Structures are given as structure tokens and as C-alpha cells.
Structure 1
Amino acid sequence: RHVVAADRRPVVNGPACADCHGAHAVPKRTLSTSPIYYRNLAATCARCHGNPEVTGTRNVGIPGASRMYDRGIHNQAIMTKGLNKSATCADCHGAHDMLERTDTASSINKRNLPATCGKCHYGVFTIYRESVHGTSLARGVPDAPNCADCHGEHDIRQADDPKSQVSFGAISGKTCAACHAAEKLAARYGLPVEKVRGYEQSYHGLSARLGDKTVANCSSCHGVHEIFPSSDPRSTIHPGNLPVTCGKCHPGATANFAKGNIHVGPGGTGGMIKLWVERIYIWLIVGVIGGMVVHNGFDYFRKMQALYRRRREWEHPGYERLNRSERVQHVLTFTTFFTLVITGFALKFKWSIPLVADQTNVFLRGWGHRAAAVLMIATSIYHLFYAVFTARGRGQLVRMLPCWKDAEDVVGTIRYYLGLAGHKPKFDRFSYVEKAEYLALVWGTIVMVVTGFLLWFKDESLKHLPMWGLDVATIIHYYEAILATLAIFVWHLYYVFVNPDFAPMSFSWIDGKLSRHDMEHEHALELEEIEAYGRRGEIPPPDVTRIAPEEE
């Protein structure tokens, strides 16, 4: 491989004898001063295979192999325990007869690798070659797993290392699932793809997901290297062996213990019963809880309707806080926002609507998110025109800008909360709370629109950005979504629904009005301004809250 490349052309400037063995005083490889001494060999190979200048310009299959080997169990056995029998580079790849892994004569060829590992792990190799994986590989099945597919190649870890590919946490969810949950492989070899999903939904799978490390995973039942078809009497999941297999965790297990479909899913009488029990409960939950929601929804609606009617009994007609256009903008904003939140997190975490086909869920998640995004952008553009081209919009935009008084109000409010002041500061048209919300909305919308378009049109984006740029956009989009969602729930919805001054809900987003009492407590400075205009007999500018018309 160092002399002739994979395409059979000579390697230019490949390593010569002296690069590995030394120049004149070539020591025996059994001497600790030799570059190919077992403790030194990895470092010798790393002079090229760990050198970015070499790996970046040569056809090196795994540029980071030397770093991964350094972390692996074989190198650790050599360097920390002094085991001279632990595998080094030459033990796996060969010394002078290195060949490309695609070469059928290579020691690391897919079919030859088990025998290569078997030079040290002979007992395991003899078991593996009889297993369903070993016999499949020997028959020439290209996708049958060999040692490296499960354990890794250079960065091989102890099984109890959480970073190991065969650790408890990885073996079912990642390592075995890489093949057994792959739909293309399942279709190619006629494997039941739902087995992994069934395990994840079973008692064992759910317990494992919750962190229980004593519950059974794939290898607990099927074995590690000695995996055989369930029809083989040697198999740990052969019907005759199941009491013993299950009995390892469940002492006293009988043949009846493991009857039925072990992996939750369709199939057989038990599978059908479980399917219908699940369906009945889903509809029962929908019916019972749905009925409760409808009942209490009507109750809440009627009580809120009564509260709303009491507003007509105000001695004062109230003040028009939001006009019709502003209320429409608000409704469109919160509708699209929550649609984006639900569909966005559904995309991230693959949420699905129960009893709806997978393809329909995929469509709703993807295009529902995009449609809501387009509508929010349209609402934002309308708001921009409103803020720039209407007198009321321009005036309110100016009033929304932060000023020094906002900082004083923050300090004064905190002093009031701590009992250091007898009253809260007087707020103008917009308090620091509302200004912070508005500016956060503007900032968040810009960030989400920019990153959202980069992700939506990723092919076009990658013409102008490196791949890591798109990764950064993904991170920003995700965490900005979390930030915005939490801010709305913790900050905005508190003032609309939870704040005792307005609980159970402020109606101003519906009819746009605030009572005189609310104006006195929340916007005292603006109320003073309104009354000053009234005393002078002047009409206030459009951006100042006006007394609501009597008919409203």
C-alpha cells in the first residue's frame, strides 16, 4: 500500500525503509530504541498518519486513525499496562505486506478481518465464525457485520466504557440498530425492521431509556458473539433455551414465561390483543379526556364571557390600547408563533399525531412549519409597513425605543419588589417590560427567518457557505427557538394570564381596551398625558391612547 496505490499506480514520495526502521544504526525490533518496537510503532506510523500535511494531501482513508488508536484499548494496554502482546498497527495491517482494505488479500478486508482479530482473540473468533453473522460473512454477504462493525476500528473501548460502541447504552440503540433498524438492509435481506422499534417500546427498552443498566438489551438475550437463528438449538433464543436465557434475570422462568411476541409489535394472537388493547385505550383517553376538555372549555368560556360583559358596566368607557389593525397583527403573530413552535419541535424530535399515517405526519411537520413561517414573515412585513407608513405606527415605534428612564424604572421596580420603595415607578405608553418583549420579538424574528431560510434552501446555501456554516445555523435556529418559547411562556403569558392584576386573562388583546384602573396602575404617565390634552381641549396625537368610543 505504501509502494503501490489502490489504483495500481506507484506512490510518489511514499515511506521508504529508513522512514520506519531508521537509517544506519538500525536496532532490532525487540529493542526499546527501535522505531518499530511494540511501544514505539504507533508513534512511528503516526509520523505520517497523524500528520495533517500528509493525510491532507494523500489518499489516507481515515486521517484521524492514529489519534483514535491512542485512545483505544489496545494502545492503552501497551502504554499503561506494558502488555507486549496487545495489537499494534502491524498486527492488524501487516508490516511490509500492507494492502488496501478493498483488496481481497488484505488482512483488514471485510471478510478477512475476523481472522486477523482472531490471531489474538482466537476463542472469540471460533465462536463468531459459527454464528449467523460469521457464516453470512463467509458466504459473501457484504453487509454482514464483522468485528469492526460492532467494536469499532481504531478507537476500540472496553465494553464498560460509556463511549464504547458495545457499551450498555449504545448496543441496542446504536450498534445493533445500525443494521437491524435500517430499512434498506431490512428490505434487502428480508429482516423485520420493526424489531428495534418494538424493543424500544417494550418494558426492557423503556427501562433502558430511563437509565436502568440492569435491564436486558440485545446481547442479554441474543448473545454477543454466539448469535444464532432462533431455530438453531444452539441459540439462546431457541424456544427450548428461553427459560434459561430469561432465567438469568428472572429466576424461576418457565417455558410459558417468554411465550408470545417478545418485541412489542404486531404478530400472532398476543400481538393482535396488544394492538387492540392499545387502540381501545387511545380512544378511551381521547374520549374521556377530550370530553373533560370540552366540558371545562365550555365552562371556562361562559365564565369568561360573563367577566367580559362586566366590562360594559365600567363607569368609564375605558381606553383603547390597541386598535383593530394592531389586534389583528397580534393574533396573526401568536397564531403563527405557536404553530412554528409545535411543528418545529415536532420536526426536531419526530413527534407524530397518533393514528395518523407516517407520511402524513412528515408532510404536516415539514410543510406546516414552512407555511407558518411564510405567514409570520408576511405579518412582519405588514407590521413594518404599519410602523413606518402610518402616523400611529411611527409614533409608537419612537415610544418603543429604550431610554434612560427604562433603566431607572428597572431599578425602581426591583426596589419595590424588595420592599425598599413604597410604590412602583410610573410607566409611560410602554414600560420596560413591553419594550424588552418587542425588541426580543424583532431580534428573534430576524434570527429565525435568516437561519430558517438557510436551512430551507440548504442546497443554495451551501453554494455560499461551508458545511459548518449550515451546522451553526441549525444550532442557532434550535436554541433561539427554545429561548423564544420559554420567554413567551415565562414572560409574556404571565402578564396576560397569570398576573393577579389581570387574571384569569387580560381582555385587551380581544377588544383592545384597558380600564381607568388599569391605566392608573400600569401606564400612569400616559394617563396624565391624556388628561393634560383633555384639560387643554386638544386632540392627542395618534400614538397616544384615546378614550374608547362609547359604542365599543
Structure 2
Amino acid sequence: MITTFPVGQCAGFAAVRVAAAKRKDRSKMRNGLGAWAAIGAALLVAVLGAAAARAQDPENCLSCHRFRGLARLDAETDEIRLFFCDAEYYAHRQGAHSRLRCTDCHEREEVRQVPHKVRTKVDCTRSCHISPAAPGLALEFSHQGVADSLALSVHAPEKLDALEFDPPPLREGQSRCLYCHDEPSFGFERGVPEGFRDHSGGTRCDTCHRETLPLEISYFANHVAARMRPAQSVRRLAQVCGTCHSNPDINEQIGRHDAVGSYLHSFHGKASLLGSHDTATCMDCHSSPGSNQHLMLSPQDEMSPVNAEMLPNTCRTTSCHPGYPPEMSSAAVHLDLDSSDYPLEFLVAAAFILLTAVTMTVFFAVVILELINAVVRRRTPEDVRFERLVRALRTHPEGRRLLQRMTVHERVQHWALVVSFALLVLTGMPIKFADTDWALAVVRFFGELQNARLVHRSAGVFIIAVFLYHIGYLVVRGVRKLRAERRAGRRASLLGLAAAHPMMLRPRDIVEFGHLFLYLLGLRRERPAFGRYGFHEKFEYWAVFWGMPVMGLSGLALWGMPWISENISGRVINFAYIVHSDEAYLAFIYISAVHLFSVVFSPTVFPLSPGTITGQAPVADLVERHRGFIEELAERLGIPHPPEDPQHKRERRSIRVSSIARRVYAGAAAAACSFVAFISLRFLIVLLFSHQAAPVEIVGIPTRLDADTFLQDVSALPVANGGKREEMRGPLAHYHRIPQWFQPDTGNTCATAGCHSPLPHTKRIEVRAFLNMHSTFVDC
């Protein structure tokens, strides 16, 4: 059955369906007035949405052709014909063709019918790319200007022919232009169709590819305006360049690293992976704005935009960093950790990676051994006696005060650090791991990357303020204590009081930490009796005094890049980027694994240590980690050790069930911590000893377009008609190569937009499109 309909009618069906969906969602409102208001709002949104859709696609072709996988296999040529058109190409006016209607190229009467019965091939020379065969028209179409530019660039034909791909991305006879372009005119066996060949002279394409402006100002002004922005998104441009520059074999032949990988691991690349459409692309730097982008010169060429002398001007265009100092260009865009290209940066990165690896290896080992000890260790009468001693101390007014871990003031500071650190992690870690799906999801939670950066900087300023406040708090307390000591007639100084502070590290703490290791390994019978604060608590406290200046100064340097570049050096940005990123990773892993174990996941405090809220730690935690402090307080307050309880055996029976549960929990936590330790340390080792490669989604583009590639992807989908796959058929059609990594979205529950919206389809729309049920309309 062939259906004809007025162009644009499908949007009306879509508007009605959207309104119905909105009306259904609002059916549970409390009163009828609210329901009618919701229906009215839904209708308004639907009408406006339909109007916006018509504005960018007045013929409503994208209601069908916007789905990836809409394709057929041509049985005569054994080639894939893909009918997909990228909606973003038209929505953002990317490229000159995005300003054309579909019927400017396709015969209107033929595409009005659904399914289309196209018999007339598209003739690009009839109105746009005019040929000399058209009488009375002098303008011609030619690629000679592009060929002249390519001959002078680093992508000259002889250089491309010298590259050895395995497997080759092009079939025999296909044009080299397919390395970067997907247009159909380059896919013919002869290279370029007859209507486009053997023409020279001034052409309409010279508007973009040459400097001379033709006489038809109004037409060419729009044409140039369309070409001033790239016709492809940042990610797709990276995919195009990655065909060669992320290929290990090609990089070995030309003696370069993975340029796309190092770009995507810089801020510009990470911003593009996180959804930014305004960040610099490969073409923004390697091709001058508005110039012939086929004329891509080597960095050694003095006319190249990335030449050392030209780079400051390239970075400071009005679309990138206007007004920035020229020294900013010395910051590396392709910051690949290589000891030969960036020796100092490599040493700094290696030092931080080794620092993180050593620190986390030690503390991961302690946490895992502590959890294993919780599984195998049995409760002893000594534990029971100390538990009763702690309870006796808490009944003593002075004892309860001295057992307090943090004052109210300190607890408020602690939670201020918790909130600011959590915000910094949520907005900072996605940038470090920008090639992951969860990173993009987190950024989208904040709306866009710019919002996440604003939250990150605000949280950074807040945590610096909290740190400075804590220093002031220590000074004020020290001065008050100094005055009290002097009023009591005792000689004292601020330095002496600081040395006597319970958080001060002493040689004894290091010795006790070594004894703890021996005890956890089974080489020592008794656990060391730590005082008020153990080694790991003091280490965490003083780590803040290391991490805050390092993170704060490097973050401020990245934020104040213009001032740093002008007054110090742009290369400082390289070090700030490395230091900020690696120190953030160290802080994140330590807090997530070690500190949270102490206050959340340890069996003695799970699910949360009350010391962070009330200031009083659990009895079991004090007995296990601070026995020395308990004995010291008992002796100081004159509280004797309670005698051994004859009911201990009875108590052991009553707590057997809880003990088993605690052992199971500790074993599971030990396994989880071991997995986290392996992943974290492996990441550091790979980062240090390997080059940064492009993400799989960038390099995973098809190396060859043929029927086998398409059928291999389709084979993973359900088979219709009792297990017999029908041969896909259809006319010669559109352009754009099918991406090998395409996977249909099986979670998409929306019905087909437009003309078929009322039909009750059982399969998802992407599955139908990929299997060509949608394009053949057999069931309909």
C-alpha cells in the first residue's frame, strides 16, 4: 500500500500524540482545573515543538530519517545503502547543505509517497554546482582548488598513498577523500561522477576554499557563513582524524604518538567528550579560521597555525582566548607524558604517581589486613574488660569529656570539609575520567560542563576558606592556652604547645604503626596500644596540610591562567594540570578507601561512627584502636580495671550470631577493597608506563564498509519470520557510512514519529529501522 500525504502533515500527528501523553501523565491531579491547565500546557508545548521542527525540517523528512540504522542491502551491488540523516547537522546549521530543503535535491513528487519510489538520481549540477553544459551559465564546479591545497599540505596524495593500513579503510578504486569525507560523490569507483569532472576555473566552492569573494554577494555571504563553523561535531572530527592519527601502525610509520588520544586527554578534548560544543577542535588549531582547511601544513612550516611563532595568534582568536597573553600558547594542548618531549613534566607526573602508588599500597594493605583480622580474630576476656572500663569512664563526668574525639566546633569544620570535598569530587573526577559514561551522566546532572566548572570553583574557594579558618582556629586555641599556662605561673611558648599537641607526629607513632603491620601479618601476638590518636589518624590530619596548598595553588593557577602565563610562564599550566589531577586522584582514593573505612565501613563503627556527629566514638572502636589512651585516662582519673566477669562465657553465646554476621561483612568488605586496590593501582601503572590512547568510541569507527560488516552487526539482533532472515532490498539511496559501533537502543519505548504514530508496534523503533522493517513497510 502506497500512502501520499502533504509534506509536513506528520508533525500534526506527533503534536496530537505528545498532547495525549501529557494528558495521561496529568490524569492523577486533584482537581479538574489543574488537569485542564496541564492539557493546555501540553498542547502549547506540542504546537511549539512542531513549529520548531518544521523550521529546521519543513518537509518533516527527519521524522523517519533521523534514526541510525535505517538502511538496506542492495542485492545487485552487495553494498549497504544507508538512509540516515543526522538531525544535529540541520538543527545547528552545520555546513552549506544544512540550509537546503530535501526537495531542493530530491524530486518532490517522488518523495511525497511513502514508501518512496525514487527513480530520478540527484543531479547536483542542476542548480548549485553548475557545469558548463548548462547554457547561459558561466559558473562551474571544480575540486581543482582543493587538489591544489592538498598538494601543499601534510595530507598530500602521495603521502596518503604511502600509508599502510591493515585492513585498508577504502576499497580499490575509491577516492582518498573518503578518509575524511562521507559524501556520496567520493564513493564511486571512478572517484568523481562525470558531472563533476574535468572542470576548472572560478567555482562556487572557491568561496570557502580560496580567498577571492565572487560577485554574488548575497548568495555567497550565506554560503560562507555556513562554512565558518564545522559541519561535524567535535567528537566526529576526532573520529575522522583518528582514522590515521590513532592508528598505531600509521603512527609508527610517521614517527608520532596518538595525537587524538593526547588531545582527548587534554582539557579541550575532555570538554568535547563531556558534551561541550564550543571547545577547540583539531581544525580550530591546525587550520586558520576561515581558511582553506585542506591546506594543512606541518608545524615546522612558518605559515602553519601551530608553528611556534604563529601559535600565540592561533590561540588568541575571538572564538578561543581573546585578550590572553601570548605566553599562554606554551601550555601543551597535546600533553602526552613522554620523557623525551616533556622531561620535567614527565618527572613531576612520575613522582606524583609513585607517591600515590606507595601511599595507597601501604594503606590498602592495612585496610585489607584489618578486615581479614576481623574475620579470624576472636573476642577475648581482655576485650570485655576494656569495654567495661570504657563504660566506667563515660559515667565519670571528666572521663566522658576527655573521651570526646571532636568538639562541636571541630565537627562543624569536619562536615564543611565533607560537603565541599564531595562537590569537588562530583565536579572534578568526571573531567579526569571524561571518556566514561558515568562522567558524562554526572556532568549532565549539573546541566552542562560550564555549570559543573562553576560549582567546582565555588567548592574550591569554600574548602580553602574552611582550611584557613581551621588554621585560625588552632592559633586562637593556642593563644588562649598559652595565656592560661602563664597565668598559672608556668613557662610556655606557642612552639612548645604545638609540639605537645596530641596530633603531632612522633617517632613512637611510626614504631607502633610498624608493630601494627606485624600484628596483622601474624608476626606479633599483641596489637599495639595506640594513644588518643593513632598513626593513620595523624597521617590523615597532616595530609590535609600537604594536599590543600598543593590542590589550592594548582587550582588557582588553572583558574588564573592568563595572569600565570603573563607573569610567570605558560608552561606552569602544564605542571598545574598534572599536579592538580594526580593529587586529586590520590585524595579521592585515600578518602574513599582508607578514611571511609575508618569512619563508615569498619565493622567496629558501621554504618557510621557517631564520633562525627556526637563526638563520642563507639566502645568497640575505642577498645580496638585506643587501648593505650583508655589505660592512661583510667590511671589519671583513678578508675580501677573491672575484675573478670564470670558471665563472660554466657555473653559469648549471646553474641555469637552478631559475631558471625560481622565476620561475613568483614570478608565481603575485604574482597571489595582488594578489587578497588587492584583497579586503582593498575590505573596508575598504566598511566605511568604507557602513552595516552584515544577512547574506544573514537577509534572504533569502521575500517571498511561492506556487506559483511553490516550483516555482522545485524546478526546480534532478533530474527523475524520464524528464524529466516529476509533479504533486504531497496533503491540506490543516500550517503553517510554506517558506524560499526552502532547498537540499537532497546530501551526506547517511543512510537514512530509522524505518519505511523497510531500503529501498535511491538519492536523498538531502532530495532525496526536496523532490520529494515520500518523502511520496507511489509507488515503495514
TM-score class, shorter-chain normalisation, is 0.3 to 0.5
Q: Which has the higher contact order (CA 8 A, sep 6+)?
A: 2
Q: TM-score, normalised by structure 2?
A: 0.32
Provide the TM-score with structure 1 as the length reference.
0.44
